[in-house]
A and B are shown apart, each in its own frame.
Chain A
Amino acid sequence: MAIVFLSAMLQPLTGGVSQVRVAGRTIRTVINHLEERFPGMKERLLQDGDLRPDIAVAIDGELALDGLAESVGEESEVHFIPPISGG
């Protein structure tokens, strides 16, 4: 199961839990399982059924490009982080 890192900005929903092992082969199912364990997570991460525009997902250090369909490996690290742009 993938390890999801729950940042300080998600911890109000997790009661301070900062890491959790979650089943799921895509980000969509990972978020679904997070929601089961930490209600409110979907609302926090999704907008109109997709990832919020102001949230990015990093899987094993790489930014996810396929949104909710992005694949998650059995031992992957998943992070929800602010999106990066640049000048």
Chain B
Amino acid sequence: MAEATAEYKVIGTRPIRPDGADKVTGRAIYGGDMRLTGMLHGKVLRSPHAHARIKSINTAKAEALPGVKAVVTAQDFPVAEDRIANLGEMAVNVKLLSNNVIAVDKVLYKGHALAAVAATSSHIAEEALGLIEVEYEVLPAVLNVLDAMKEEAPLLHEHLTTTELGQKTDKRSNIANHMRFTLGDPAQGFRDADIVIERDFDTATVHQGYIEPHNATALWNEDGHLYLWTSTQGAFVVQRQTAEILGLSVSKVSVTPCEIGGGFGGKIAVYLEPVAAVLSRKSGRPVKLIMSRIEEFEATGPTPASHIKVKMGVKKDGQIVAAEASLMYEAGAFPGSPVGAGCMCIFSPYAIPNMQVDGYDVVVNKPKTAAYRAPGATNAAFASETVIDELAEKLGLDPLDMRRLNGAKEGDRRVDGPTFPRIGYMETVHAALEHEHYASPLHGPNRGRGVASGFWFNVGFQSTVVINVNADGTVSLVEGSTDIGGTRASIAMQAAETLGIPYEDVRPTVAGTDGIGFTDVTGGSRTTFATGYAAHEASLDVLRQMKERLARRWDSEVEKEFEGQAERASVQITPDDVLYASGVFKCAKDPSKTMTFKDVSAQMARMGGPITGRATSQPRGIGGAFATHIVDVEVDPETGKVAILRYTAIQDVGRAIHPSYAEGQIQGGAVQGIGWALNEEYVYNTTGNMANTSFLDYRMPTTLDLPMIDTVLVEVPNPGHPYGVRGVGEVPIVPPVAAVANAIYRATGKRMTQAPMSPGYILSKLNE
């Protein structure tokens, strides 16, 4: 199974993951496993209303219940500053972040936290929640982006005014931000076009659906130091957010990341950590909080619902000459949807000379949205890729040929301005055209084949890696990147490759904020790229130190050999004379002098002491990712149900460090995208209550619903990384919704303009 290439010995192989045994035996420590002496169990009181003013909260009865040790409300939290802070991967308004963790004067969505209890058992805590008396003034709720943008819409925030094209205005509105990107002359482009298509699209609110719920255990020690154990995509981001909300210095907060059972962007913002901390401070004991699935849906951050208008113009020869879009994204209860990224992605797979994209960040009475794999890009691609498909049809072009004609290449400019470096979009289109799936016939009624493409930037950010050399020639690698999708392996493999030692000789460990230097979240498809970069650099640091020590040793040996002779000066051995390959050091000036990596490791104590390689990275050279997907569907005309018959996901991965994990990321992203396309949505009643808060009713695809997702790894190495790595984890969720929509069109003759394309929606389209 594991095969080395001529170029690399470790990279490209498929070894067993270092954390595999612990996970399959159930021994891995997740947040739910935390047990501390004297630990209390916490529960959070959440709003039953989508929009209401909090007139009063009376906690006296709850506090009097035997077994209750602490009850907290916003009064127990510091007043947060109204300012933008850089909290790791994101710029966040501290006040709004705090107000999402615990409501101050208004609740802005059903599930909004407004009090919490710590008790000796979770049952007592639950009972105590029922004793907290809250008086509300219920306000009208607004649950849809288009409704929220209306002049007469109920306002969520009395002081929120629209930022219009970068300028603060005094216009009170639910529209937090209107942004615009322009390239060329769109009006002239549309005048030059032979065919123009304009369509509107809607997408629903969708959850990441990670299996492990949010959890946090806090111990606010008597010495004023706060310890947190949690499930997170980044310990340092939890540290920063919690410190900001609680008015602490970051050095007063230690965060230990437990194993994580999925995140997909949903485990970056904090929800429970500050609450557990304040409960711990008040009770004087450690406190653990775990969300239920209902809380997950109602009170964490889904990805936004959206309304998108797309207009594209094309010449008869197939060249796209103009494109416009307006993206209206629901931010949830507080500003900050990923509409900016959606705007910057929507037309990025194409070289279009004239473009304008407007984005609107709009607050609604739903949970504050959070990142979800390529945040904002899937909604956008659904719209643009459906219109591209329709344009191709009108021109009589194969949809992949349409993409081949217009696809973005190195040097082409995105709508937000920058030009692309070396990218592999066209390679994915060519691979799709040549794939057996695309060439195979698709017979039978009600069946159709669709294709779509997608783009995601990927990011770099900051990482730290420390490599300690052991006396037996193995190394211990310490990293700050939590391992969601196999990055212990992918980082260890890059270290092993650089060190010239077997993968099995690298033992990776994920450390918390006290055990490693600053490291940003595992997200943005950055970890194998940026932390891998740091691992490579730390490995070079180890080899540099070994070479220096060997040079000293061998030079001293030469000194002895040439004692008293004039020739000595010409045979000095420096670190540059020490060569290294395949685990063996050699002296360039004396081939008889060799030493293995293991030998040096064993003799460290007599060669200058312990060897530790260290590196931090904040790499440039980020390689953007492109994907092209092919899907075959069958639509049941009586029920509207869509069956996925075959699915092939093709992606430029740069260099696949561990191909199985790259394939796994692609399969996972495609499956989540298919769920988004066909079933997943937050269903609300008119008062803002979510009606489907369980996995029984919020329908995610299972293995029984889908065929094997075939993957094709296109490798266009990223010149900005020593091993050519691009991120792989996010872009596979971008094309699926559009690809499925285009396949359904081929099966039914009906264009899909809404996601999810649930049976009811498809039946309504069939009956038009």
Contact = CB atoms under 8 A, between A and B. Distances in A.
Given A9-B179, A81-B416, A87 B166 contact: no
A77 B416 CA distance: 13
Interface in B618-659: 618, 620-622
Interface residues of A, number: 28
Contacts of B344: 81-82, 84
Interface string B656-682: 000000000000000000000000000
B524 A85 contact: yes
Contact of B621 (A12, A44, A62, A77): A62
B89 A86 contact: yes
Contacts of A63: 460, 620, 622
A87 B373 contact: yes
B221 interface: no
B64 interface: no
A22 B571 CA distance: 54
A86 B167 CA distance: 25
A69 to B, nearest CB: 14
Interface centre among A8, A10, A13 (most CB of B within 10 A): A8
Given A65-B618, A87-B372, A5 B523 contact: no
B459 A85 contact: yes
A86 B374 contact: yes
A36 interface: no
B613 interface: no
Given A44-B166, A61-B418, A87 B91 contact: no
Contacts of B166: 9-10, 12-13, 44
Contacts of A28: none
A49 interface: no
B86 interface: yes
Contacts of A83: 90-91
Contacts of A18: 182
A85 B371 contact: yes
A83 to B, nearest CB: 7
B318 interface: no
A82 B524 contact: no
Given A52-B84, A84-B341, A79 B417 contact: yes
Given A65-B618, A87-B371, A54 B91 contact: yes
A79 B730 CA distance: 25
Contact of B620 (A9, A10, A65, A81): A65
A11 to B, nearest CB: 7
B165 A86 contact: no
A13 to B, nearest CB: 8
Interface string B726-739: 00001000000000
B418 A86 contact: no
A86 B180 contact: no
A53 interface: yes
Nearest to B340: A82
B59 interface: no
A7 interface: yes
Contacts of A61: 418-421
Given A44-B166, A85-B371, A77 B181 contact: no
A54 B168 CA distance: 14
A58 interface: yes
Contacts of A85: 89-90, 341, 371, 375, 459, 523-524
Contacts of A54: 84, 91
A11 B84 contact: no
A5 B418 CA distance: 9
A43 B418 CA distance: 23
A77 B418 contact: yes
A2 to B, nearest CB: 13
A3 B166 CA distance: 21
B154 interface: no
A79 to B, nearest CB: 4
The 8 closest A-B CB pairs, nearest first, are A87-B265, A86-B524, A53-B91, A87-B371, A9-B166, A8-B180, A79-B417, A82-B340
Given A84-B459, A86-B265, 8 more contacts: A7-B416, A54-B91, A61-B420, A81-B344, A85-B375, A86-B374, A86-B523, A87-B265
18 contacts: A8-B182, A18-B182, A53-B84, A54-B84, A54-B91, A58-B417, A58-B418, A63-B460, A63-B620, A77-B419, A79-B417, A79-B418, A84-B344, A85-B523, A85-B524, A86-B456, A86-B730, A87-B372
Interface of A: 5, 7-13, 18, 44, 47, 52-54, 58, 61-63, 65, 77, 79, 81-87
